[in-house]
Amino acid sequence: MLGQGFVSAAAIAASVLFVLSLGGLSNQEKAKRAVWYGIVGMALAVVFTALGPGIGAYWLMLPMIIAGSVIGWRVAKRVAMTEMPQLVAALHSFVGLAAVFVAWSADLERRRVLAVRATEGVTEEFSAFAALVATKAPDELTFLQLEVVFAIFIGAVTFTGSVIAFGKLAGKVDGKPKQLPGGHLLNAVAAGLCLLLAIAYVAGAGFWTLLILAALSFFIGYHLIMGIGGADMPVVVSMLNSYSGWAAAAIGFTLSNDLLIVTGALVGSSGAILSYIMCKAMNRDFLSVILGGFGGTSGPAAEIEGEQVAIDAGGVAAALNNADSVVIVPGYGMAVAQAQNAVSELTRKLRAAGKEVRFAIHPVAGRLPGHMNVLLAEAKVPYDIVLEMDEINDDFPNTDVAIVIGSNDIVNPAAQEDPNSPIAGMPVLEVWRSRVVFVCKRGQGTGYSGIENPLFFKENTRMLYGDARDSIDTLIPLIE
């Protein structure tokens, strides 16, 4: 057992490490060190919390910690980068469900303590949390009840929302937006019932109110995310990340755990900021994101004229050999094909031939923020030639060749040309303004989001069909 002073000191140290970790993730060169800050901070948090005053049942806690650590290690080693978005969504669901269970447990303990205090007073058998409850004044107990309600609501919404997000990202649930008859009215009614149950609970109603509150919140989370289309899933993942943070912070207040409050607030606020940035990048209303009210069409899509014209690797190589400037736009298809190393080798050969080669990264490229940046860093692509959309979009008219590898929505001109498109108004990479565009794509399908792309039918676009890695591998020896 350690004294509270040691635990508080460790909490401060861990909080500082978490802040340094978040700050370092904004820079690709510092990201690895930032991740280690987070790992060390979390290790401090777990160890010193477990050894703190009033903590017991180590016979149960240690096996759970060991089992969870082993499972987490094995899952992380087996998951490919293409599966990272759904893994993140799954981890968010764990946080939400944990918040619900802890809140339920806290209320049951509160009821037991109040019953004992009424007859015997505070006893030595009380746990640390129970002893804390036993010393609270009536108004403080009311705040505890509000914390429990908030943790259950946010945690339950996070859990089912993350499960559906996982299903959509993994292809196990249809990516098209779907809602039950009544749409958003059902969500509003469920939220109103949650409010009434919360009032009844604070007024003294039984534990059943929390069970029904959780059930309604589970429904809201499910229905919110089911109503969001696949094109918007990167924003959904970020939004759920924020929700999981606020759920953790609520539990921190319930347990009077300062470190959990700080950590939850960091995750919640950073996730909310990221969601806002991504909403701007997709021209989405932030409030609509929170309410799940986006992802559908506003009318019939514009008809697309022309046809997709195929080209072979030889034709692409000839254009690259004659080009002075090349911009490569990576997308989720590059991740699926594991083509990042082949793309890196192509980049090396083109630069060795005196070509100017740069990468254009859209804020929501892939299915997770920063997905493409991580893949390119993994393949040793120099950081200084990897540019964000705002840095490179104006350069496309002066670009000889743009190569799109497995991207769809982020290079879709319908965002600017078709007001009825589901992505209307979304800022996109304007690759069609280049002299010629080559699109590496498996086939003529619409891709994950189900949105047709007029880029593929433009006169200056040629389609290089096939697996992205095989296509690039075939192309590399032809570069002079």
Alpha-helix runs per DSSP H in 170-257: 184-202, 208-226, 233-255
Q: In 10 A of CB 385, how many CB atoms?
A: 15
Return the structure tokens found at 228. 């969001």
Beta bridge partners of 360: 387
Active site residues: 409
DSSP letter at 324 equals: S
Return the structure tokens found at 72. 């987490």
C-beta separation of 335 from 366 below 8 A: yes
C-beta separation of 264 from 254 below 8 A: no
Return the structure tokens found at 392. 């490179």
Residue 359 belongs to what H/E stretch? strand 356-361
Q: In 10 A of CB 318, how many CB atoms?
A: 13
DSSP string, 245-297: HHHHHHHHHHHT-HHHHHHHHHHHHHHHHHHHHHHHHTT--HHHHHHT--SS-
Q: What is residue 184's three-state secondary structure?
A: helix
Return the structure tokens found at 407. 């991207």
The dihedrals phi and psi of 360, each to the nearest 5 degrees, come to -110, 120
Return the structure tokens found at 73. 């290690």
Q: State how far the Cα of 439 lies from the Cα of 442, in Å rounded to an integer.
A: 10
Strands across the sheet containing 356-361: 386-388, 356-361, 325-330, 401-405, 436-441, 461-465
Q: State how far the Cα of 309 lies from the Cα of 437, in Å rounded to an integer.
A: 11
Alpha-helix runs per DSSP H in 393-459: 414-417
CA-to-CA separations, 53 to 3, 266, 457, in angstroms, rounded? 6, 25, 67
